[in-house]
Amino acid sequence: MNNSRLHAEKSASHEFILDRFEEEKAVIIDADNTEIILPAKLLPAAKEGDVIVMALIPKEEETKRREQTAKDILNEILKS
């Protein structure tokens, strides 16, 4: 399986509208009126009314690395 297909199967993207800025926050809203508040610095070039696509892609290698680190720490604690 090629990498792009693998990412497509394990990722999700969703469209939002940049509704407004509130101080240092950006409020984005989807078609179901679900609001997500983000730091405005994540959208430096965006303006109110822009369509924002958010992609969520699991980082499997990083997840495995962190799990191993947690196991190593726990094992070290249990040895003490």
Query: Would you place residue 2 in the very low, low, confident or very high pLDDT band (cuts 50, 70, 90)?
Result: very low
Spatial contact of 56 and 12, defined as CB atoms under 8 Å apart: yes
Q: Within 10 Å of residue 19's Cβ, how many Cβ atoms?
A: 15
pLDDT reported for residue 1: 41
Structural domains of the chain ordered from first start: 3-79 (2.40.50.140)
Spatial contact of 18 and 50, defined as CB atoms under 8 Å apart: yes
Q: CA-CA distance, 66 to 76, in Å (whole number)?
A: 15
Read off the pTM: 0.67
Dihedral sign of CA atoms 8, 9, 15, 20 in order: negative
Phi, psi of 3 (to 5 degrees): -60, -40
Tell me: the pLDDT tens digits for 60-79?
Answer: 999 999 999 999 999 999 99
Tell me: the pLDDT tens digits for 10-45?
Answer: 778 899 999 999 999 999 999 999 999 999 999 999
